[in-house]
Amino acid sequence: MATLLEFAEVCEKIKLTTSKNQKVSILANYLLKLSRNELPIACRLLTSKVFPPWDTRAVNISYSTISDAIKEITEVSEDKLKATYIKYGDLGEAAEELMKGKKITTLIQNTLTLQDVYSALDTAASKKGEGATEVRLRVLKGLLALCSPIEAKYLVKVLCGEMRIGLDEGLLEEALAAAYGRSLKQVREAGLIVADIGESALVALDGNFDAVKLSVFHPTNFMLAEEMPSPQEVADYFRCDLYAEYKYDGVRAQIHSSGKEVRIFSRRLEDVTNSFPEFSKPFSDKAVILDGEIVPYKDAPLPFQMLQRRLHRKEITKELLEETPVVYFAFDILYYNGETYISRPLRERRMILEGLNLQPPLYYANQIKVKLKEDIEEAFEASLKLGYEGLVIKHPDSVYTPGKRGKKWVKLKKELATLDVVIVAAEYGHGKRAGVLSDYTFAVKSEDGLKVIGKAYSGLTDKEIDEMTKILSAITVKDLGHLKIVEPKIVLEVAFNNIQKSSRHSSGYALRFPRIKRVRWDKNVDEIDTIDRVKEIYEIQAYKKML
């Protein structure tokens, strides 16, 4: 029987070695000792999970409940617990130290197995609503009472959702491949489809990679799109007929229907069924998995923010349903009537999808056949006119690759926002722009001076660049040959698609696909945007990704 003690000792060994190969070998040896039933439990616990991501049983034992349990079991004061926590910055490490002085012991010497831990946490997670916190506290105290210090340490680390021992899912996949003599590529690919490390472990154990199938109510990772800057680049890259779909601004969702019941899963594979009761009616008598976007919509798309009111709400009232009506735009089908369709080309999947006869509030994502730059531009404009975000352009032969951002699907987005920035340096361009200052480094303002946030090469006409070259030469304060540092005087309005954190520039951020919209001759440097505005845009964008 796999014990918690052995699990903890393996974790400790992994923590103590910095060698990746050694970590993999310790893990692989451990995995080989586990039974088929224990393997998924151990793999989830090793990555500080108890259930698959879509499971509605969330353990949800809060930091404060864990702290209360440790305090009660070890009979230490709040201050002592706090001081020990601060010493390590990790509740698991603190638990270990405090448990060394544990006063309460049970009469019977007990050996906790992984199965015991799983069953106890299942009990804790299954209790919802009133009294749930008490049940969780009781369960946790029951477990801790049977733990040795090292067991307590790793149990607490799992419950805090962070092991901090230099082990992640990628490393565990390597160990799975090593333990059962499988190819890492196959283990990883199967992992993306099954989307749960416990399940991946069983696939690796059996080595039955070709038999990996989807099933309803077990979501898979979503296929992603690579961003491209312009219709021209999309046309040049593919040079063939393509499907352009509107890029709907909502939340990505898989709708699973068994024929009798419907469940909805978010991009993070969480079960969000209760937030969207309007989709709860089965739309086919066969089992189906759809991929698409949930969009706030009434005659036209509504602001994305309206969806926030729906998500993570305990109760969706009638008023809320009326206030924030939503529809679903289906653009793919991954499973139908017992068959997994992800390895079939998109053109075939789309035909099957269209055979479903979806009814409102389920709609088909619109699809336009495009090939040339002009076709793509036209579809892009049409999308913006209708209030959407741009296009997702897909190769008709593309297979569905869960969790991957291949270049079979690409996205063209309207600008996220614009910023007013000031040019701080300029460089000569290349090719026909070799003799003119066409590349500009620009900055935003902060309390301690200007902070560089990016570089832009495109957006101005040749005439404007000539004019800029004259002005920039006149305000050069340091001439470094190819590069000229200039007085911060010229304000640009730049558009971009994304903000990323980056150590490349002094602001700590970088703009993705920056392009100059215009020179703001009417503005002076005091009026440019601030680093706080950059942070604000970054945070809204990051929040959206978490939904």
The residues carrying an active-site annotation are 247
Cis peptide before 361 (omega within 30 of 0): yes
Q: Are 422 and 490 in contact (CB under 8 A)?
A: yes
Could you give the string, one character per residue 213-242, with x where binding to ligand ATP holds by CB under 6 A and - elsewhere? -----------xx-----------------
Q: Are 423 and 442 in contact (CB under 8 A)?
A: yes
In whole angstroms, how close is the CB of 437 to ligand ATP at the nearest point? Answer: 32
In whole angstroms, how close is the CB of 219 to ligand ATP at the nearest point? Answer: 14
Residue 490 backbone class (left: φ over 0; alpha: ψ -120 to 50; beta: rest): beta
If the CB atoms of residues 149 and 361 are measured against ligand ATP, the closer one turns out to be: 361
# chain residues binding ligand ATP, by CB under 6 A = 12
Could you give the string, one character per residue 360-379, with x where binding to ligand ATP holds by CB under 6 A and - elsewhere? -----x--------------
Which tokens in the block code for residue 478? 């340091």
Q: Is 46 in the site for ligand ATP (CB under 6 A)?
A: no
In whole angstroms, how close is the CB of 536 to ligand ATP at the nearest point? Answer: 17
- Which residues touch 454 (CB under 8 Å, ≥6 apart)? 421, 441, 442, 494, 496, 505, 510, 511, 514
Euclidean distance between CA atoms 506 and 531, whole angstroms? 11
* Residue 409, helix vs strand vs coil: strand
If the CB atoms of residues 98 and 510 are measured against ligand ATP, the closer one turns out to be: 510
Which tokens in the block code for residue 79? 């201050």
Q: Is 293 in the site for ligand ATP (CB under 6 A)?
A: yes
Euclidean distance between CA atoms 529 and 512, whole angstroms? 17
Tell the residue number behind the tokens 């305000």, with chain if given: 475
If the CB atoms of residues 226 and 532 are measured against ligand ATP, the closer one turns out to be: 226
Question: Which residue, among 195, 163, 169, 201, has the nearest Cα to 182 in the 3D structure?
Answer: 201
Q: Residue type at 406?
A: G
**Among residues 15, 80, 138, 252, which is the contact residue for ligand ATP, using CB under 6 A?**
252
Q: Are 489 and 426 in contact (CB under 8 A)?
A: no
Q: Is 192 in the site for ligand ATP (CB under 6 A)?
A: no
Instruction: Tell me which residues in 487-546 interact with ligand ATP (CB under 6 A).
Output: 545
The interface region with ligand ATP, picked from 18-26, 172-180, 244-252, 308-316 by CB under 6 A, is 244-252
Q: Is 392 in the site for ligand ATP (CB under 6 A)?
A: yes
Local structure of residue 51 (DSSP, 8 states): S
Q: Are 287 and 336 in contact (CB under 8 A)?
A: yes
Local structure of residue 215 (DSSP, 8 states): B
Q: Is 328 in the site for ligand ATP (CB under 6 A)?
A: no
Could you give the string, one character per residue 402-441, with x where binding to ligand ATP holds by CB under 6 A and - elsewhere? ---------x------------------------------
What residues make contact with ligand ATP under the rule CB under 6 A?
224-225, 245, 247-248, 252, 293, 331, 365, 392, 411, 545
